[in-house]
């Protein structure tokens, strides 16, 4: 008789459309790991109780998505340096000695850009749009790639400036409002705002994307997102969505749990094909 599979899950609200169960099933099949992975809907305010119950029932680890990444940060006993900084946790590892928390979103973004898209970040001028949880989650890994500069621009300028204070020891990062971008140019613009939920793009001045520049949207969809379309309309050399990042952050979680790296390319291709 085969052994019981190890149990993992993703918790969020909403969660029905999460692609994580499919991604982790594909990883498990590919690497021969005996695990099951499901999506669990958790009501707001109920994260800690749900995570505790999952662990008590023998669960080995969790992915955590909107709106519980901060709750997971509080829930973890031990945090990785990048999760500590991000103030958000998307991966929990249940160990005998306690609950380890990590954040694989930033490494997922960096890996998608630098490995899958072959776009090195060193010496680039990077513009990060947004100053919420999504932006905070990717800042440290981006700065560790040594860009020439990283400007955080947000609709509410003070939130961008506050974020800069938390990361300025890691590299050349500055913050401003969207209007202050006039006259400036960037090689890579990353959209970490929630504007796409309304199929909108933050207002950006003409010429902000340098010739040959790239656009990257942390969001993804079956159709090109509003920001991907913005990039295409403004002459981006490439304008890509965050599906690759989604698969890469999952791969990094999988590695933390199982100690093996799955191949991401076939999984990205499978998801692209619907």
| Span interacting with ligand ATR, options 167-175, 196-204, 244-252, 261-269, rule CB under 6 A | 196-204
Choice between 36 and 180, CB closer to ligand ATR: 180
Counting contacts by CB under 6 A, is residue 179 touching ligand ATR?
A: no
The least distance separating ligand ATR from the CB of residue 157, rounded to whole angstroms, comes to 8
Q: Would you call the peptide bond into 67 cis, given omega within 30 degrees of 0 as the criterion?
A: yes
CB of 230 to ligand ATR, least distance (A): 12
* Rounded (10°) CA dihedral 22, 27, 33, 35: -20
Query: 132: number of CA atoms within 13 Å, CB side?
Result: 12
Q: Which of 40, 48, 176, 194 binds ligand ATR (CB under 6 A)?
A: 194
Q: Are 256 and 102 in contact (CB under 8 A)?
A: yes
Residue placing its CB nearer to ligand ATR in the complex, 192 or 267: 192
**CA dist., res. 230 & res. 201, Å (int):** 7
Per CB under 6 A, does 19 bind ligand ATR?
no
Phi and psi at 254, nearest 5°, equal -60, -40
Q: Which positions from 123 through 162 interact with ligand ATR, judged by CB under 6 A?
A: 130-135, 154-156, 159
By beta-carbon proximity to ligand ATR, the closer residue of 195 and 268 is 195
Continuous H helices in the chain = 20-31, 47-56, 69-75, 81-86, 105-111, 133-144, 157-167, 226-233, 243-258, 265-272
Cβ 181 to ligand ATR shortest distance, Å:
12
Q: How far is the CB of 94 from ligand ATR (least distance, A)?
A: 25
DSSP 112: I
Q: Could you say whether residue 202 binds ligand ATR (CB under 6 A)?
A: yes
Size of the chain, expressed as the number of residues it contains: 274
Nearer to ligand ATR, 139 or 210 (CB): 139
Q: How far is the CB of 219 from ligand ATR (least distance, A)?
A: 9
Residue of 149, 157, 219 whose CA lies nearest to 185: 149
Stretch that binds ligand ATR, among 75-83, 179-187, 195-203, 240-248 (CB under 6 A): 195-203
* Cβ count within 10 A of residue 242: 27
CB of 257 to ligand ATR, least distance (A): 24
Nearer to ligand ATR, 159 or 255 (CB): 159
Q: Residues with catalytic annotation?
A: 69
- Give whichever of 46 and 133 is closer to ligand ATR, judged by the CB atom: 133
CA 198 and chain centroid, separation: 20
Question: 165 is written with which tokens?
Answer: 């204070």
Q: Degrees (nearest 5) of the Cα angle 175, 195, 142?
A: 45
Q: What residues make contact with ligand ATR under the rule CB under 6 A?
A: 130-135, 154-156, 159, 193-195, 198, 200, 202
């Amino acid at each position: 008789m085969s052994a019981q599979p190890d149990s993992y899950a993703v918790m969020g609200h909403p969660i029905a459309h999460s692609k994580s169960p499919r991604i982790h099933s594909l990883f498990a099949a590919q690497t021969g790991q005996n695990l099951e992975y499901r999506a669990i809907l958790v009501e707001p305010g109920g994260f800690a109780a749900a995570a505790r119950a999952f662990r008590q029932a023998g669960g080995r680890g969790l992915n955590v998505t909107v709106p519980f990444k901060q709750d997971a940060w509080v829930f973890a006993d031990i945090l990785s340096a990048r999760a500590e900084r991000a103030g958000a946790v998307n991966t929990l590892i249940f160990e005998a000695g306690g609950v380890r928390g990590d954040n694989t979103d930033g490494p997922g973004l960096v890996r998608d850009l630098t490995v899958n898209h072959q776009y090195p970040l060193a010496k680039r001028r990077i513009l990060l749009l947004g100053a919420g949880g999504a932006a905070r989650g990717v800042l440290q890994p981006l700065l560790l790639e040594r860009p020439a500069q990283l400007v955080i621009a947000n609709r509410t300028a003070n939130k961008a400036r506050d974020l800069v204070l938390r990361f300025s020891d890691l590299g050349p990062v500055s913050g401003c409002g969207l209007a202050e971008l006039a006259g400036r140019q960037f090689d890579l613009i990353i959209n970490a705002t929630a504007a796409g939920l309304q199929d909108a793009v933050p207002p950006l001045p003409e010429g902000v994307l340098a010739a040959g520049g790239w656009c990257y949207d942390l969001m993804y969809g079956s159709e090109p997102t509003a920001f991907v379309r913005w990039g295409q309309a403004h002459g981006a050399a490439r304008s890509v969505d965050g599906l690759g990042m989604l698969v890469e952050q999952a791969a990094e979680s999988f590695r933390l749990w199982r100690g093996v790296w799955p191949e991401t390319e076939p999984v990205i291709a499978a998801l692209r094909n619907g």
